[in-house]
Amino acid sequence: MQGDLDMSTESQPAASPLPTGTLLSRTCVTCRYDLRGTATTAKCPECGTPVEDSIRGFLFCYAPAHYRRRVERGLSLMLPLIFTQIVLLVLSLVSFMRVNDSFGFATQQASQDDQMFYWVACVGCLLAGFIFAAPPIGFAPAEVHASGRGVLRLVTLFAIVPASIVLVLRSAVSRGELNFSAAADMGWYFEFMYAASLFAQILLCAHVWATCRYSAWLFFRVADARGERLAKVFSWLLPGVVLAGIVAGLVPVLDLLVSTGLVQGAPQIWGAAPVPRWAVLLVPVFGLSTLIAAFALLVLLLWRLRLRMAEVRGANPSPSALA
């Protein structure tokens, strides 16, 4: 059995080999019937699909058409949504730099709208990521575990909830529907919104990591060794860049809490001195710039994967070509 596995990977020598013995628990690529003990020259007892199709099924070109369409559909939806996030981050950066007063409620309405639409794009990207991480068909448990698909879906489910909450809260701010009877109520509202935003952004950072890890597995399946290496490097580089941007984005939020007194005892965060003007202006600019750079690199990585999938979509060499 291992010999058949070696033949299936000769077309991608630069990629890492599959774990030894995974074929012992291979399932049918069509009906998921357990093929343990079935001869490689036989057919699936359940649906009649040749066993060799399931052996060679690790390559993306051998995967069932409906599975390939679902993965490509999710990837095609993610790309424009991430690009939309980049555009909105650029607009937020421009709006922020145009504000002459200190960062606070004097922020332009356009900036509030940009933030609301940014979270719309975030929620949409998370939903597309759930489609992108479609369950692989016909693979052994060891291969499925190594894909990172389950981690990506789990992170997506956890991130959708706070991101949706932030979207609802942001939309209320953008539309001017807030009507508080007391300053304490307003303070509670913004405390909750900023806490939910921070939690959602941390989960989005984890989502970037899981997306890169899962993409590395897909690059291996389309025989792109360079893309696989890039995805593995990006799986640690991009989350660090995103996290730096998130931390930098906390500076204007803390300044807002200090300057408006929305939170009880907020001035004690910085002591008696206010937040330095250079920190209020430059640190958020740095944070937004790092987020833009990270999402731009992620778009380039996923675009490369999309092109490789399109190249191998129609490839389906005969068994003799692998022998």
Write the pLDDT tens digit of every residue in 68-104.
Answer: 889 999 999 999 999 999 999 888 877 776 654 444 4
Q: Give the model's pLDDT for residue 272.
A: 44
Q: 40 with 80, same domain?
A: no
CA-angle at 253, arms to 181 and 295, nearest 5°: 125
pLDDT reported for residue 223: 82
Q: What is the mean pLDDT of residues 139-143?
A: 56
Same domain flag for 96 and 113 = yes
pLDDT for 254 equals 62
Answer yes or no: do 230 and 104 share one domain: yes
Choose the final residue of a domain: 11, 41, 58.
58
pLDDT digits 0-9 by tens, 13-40: 333 333 333 344 567 766 778 877 777 7
CA pair distance 163, 199, nearest whole angstrom: 9
Q: What does the pLDDT look like over 226-263, one tens digit per residue? A: 999 999 999 999 999 998 888 877 766 665 555 555 44
Give me the pLDDT at residue 133, please.
92
Q: Is residue 35 part of a domain?
A: yes
Asked if residue 278 and residue 201 are part of one domain, the reply reads yes
Distance of alpha carbon 2 from alpha carbon 174, whole angstroms: 60
Query: Is residue 317 assigned to a domain?
Result: no
Pair 185, 102 in one domain: yes
Taking CA atoms, 12 is separated from 111, 139, 213, in Å, by 48, 18, 19
* Helix residue ranges per DSSP H, the chain: 2-8, 51-55, 65-98, 109-132, 141-147, 149-175, 183-221, 225-260, 277-312, 319-322
Q: Do 162 and 83 share a structural domain?
A: yes
Residues 102 and 213 grouped into a single domain:
yes
| Residue 318 domain-assigned (yes or no) | no
Looking at the structure, tell me whether residues 266 and 118 fall in a common domain: yes
Spatial CB neighbours of 125, under 8 Å, sequence gap ≥ 6: 78, 81, 82, 85
Q: Is residue 323 part of a domain?
A: no
Residue 175 lies in a domain: yes
pLDDT number for residue 50:
75
Most confident of 46-60, 132-146, 163-177: 163-177
Does residue 321 lie within any of the structural domains? no
- Residue 11 counted as domain residue: yes
Domain count along the chain = 2
Q: In percent, how much of the chain has pLDDT > 90?
A: 32
Residue 300 lies in a domain: yes
Q: Average pLDDT of 209-235?
A: 92
The answer to which of 175-179, 195-199, 302-306 has the lowest mean pLDDT is 175-179
Residues 131 and 150 in one domain: yes
- Specify whether 33 is located in the same domain as 150: no
Domain boundary among 58, 85, 106: 58
| Same domain assignment for residues 36 and 162 | no
Distant-in-sequence contacts of 168-176, Cβ < 8 A, 24+ apart: 169/193, 169/196, 170/112, 170/115, 170/116, 170/119, 171/116, 173/112, 173/116, 174/109, 174/112, 174/113, 174/115, 174/116
Name the residue range of residue 195's domain.
65-136+144-311
* Most confident listed range (188-192, 208-212, 280-284): 208-212
Please indicate, yes or no, whether residues 207 and 238 belong to a single structural domain of this protein. yes
